[in-house]
Amino acid sequence: MKRILTIAALALAAASPAFAGKVVVAANSSQAALDKAGVQAIFLGRTAQVGGQPAVVVFQKGPVRAPFESGVVGRAGAQLTSHWSRLVFTGRAKAPEDLADDAAVKAKVASTPGAIGYISDGAVDATVKVLFDF
């Protein structure tokens, strides 16, 4: 019984490798590096500006989402949607974007002043500037 549990635990661990990622903005953004609290403030809609521009907050649906939401933002899934619905439907913030994957986030961030998103480590290239490591 214990062995089966151990095997199951190992299988689970293998199936969901720990994803590491980066919070990024356009390569030419003037936004300085952020600490965890700074990232939270932006992704929870409390900071309205990124690099001196109105913030365009970009979430994504890829595998990097879960570690980012639970590990950095501190709220995930329905709780996070609920939090943002409070901001959006009070007019306090613009609705965040929810893109498909790393490539879509990179394209959006690189082409939009004020846009900020997160991508997995392997996707980082010269079109973006890294503000935070997770």
Contact call for residues 13 and 52 (beta carbons, < 8 A)? no
Tell me if 44 sits within 8 A of 83, measured CB to CB. yes
- Give residues 39-68 in contact with other proteins (rule: CB under 8 A): 40-41, 44, 46, 48-49, 53-54
Regarding 29 and contact with other proteins (CB under 8 A), the answer is no
Residue 15, number of CB atoms within 10 A of its CB: 7
Give Cβ neighbours of residue 115 (< 8 Å, ≥ 6 apart). 25, 26, 50, 55, 56, 58, 108, 109
Q: Please work out the total of residues on this chain that contact other proteins, with binding judged by CB under 8 A.
A: 23
- Give the nearer residue to other proteins in terms of CB position, either 9 or 46: 46
Contact 18, 69 (CB under 8 A): no
Encoded amino acid at 102, one letter? D
CA 105 – CA 101 distance, rounded (Å) = 6
Say whether residue 30 binds other proteins (CB under 8 A).
no
Residue 85-124 contact track with other proteins, rule CB under 8 A, x = bound = xx-xxxxx-xx-----------------------------
Q: Which is nearer to other proteins, 6 or 86 (CB)?
A: 86
Determine if 6 is a binding residue for other proteins (CB under 8 A). Answer: no
In the complex, the residues that contact other proteins under the rule CB under 8 A are: 40-41, 44, 46, 48-49, 53-54, 74-75, 77-78, 81-82, 85-86, 88-92, 94-95
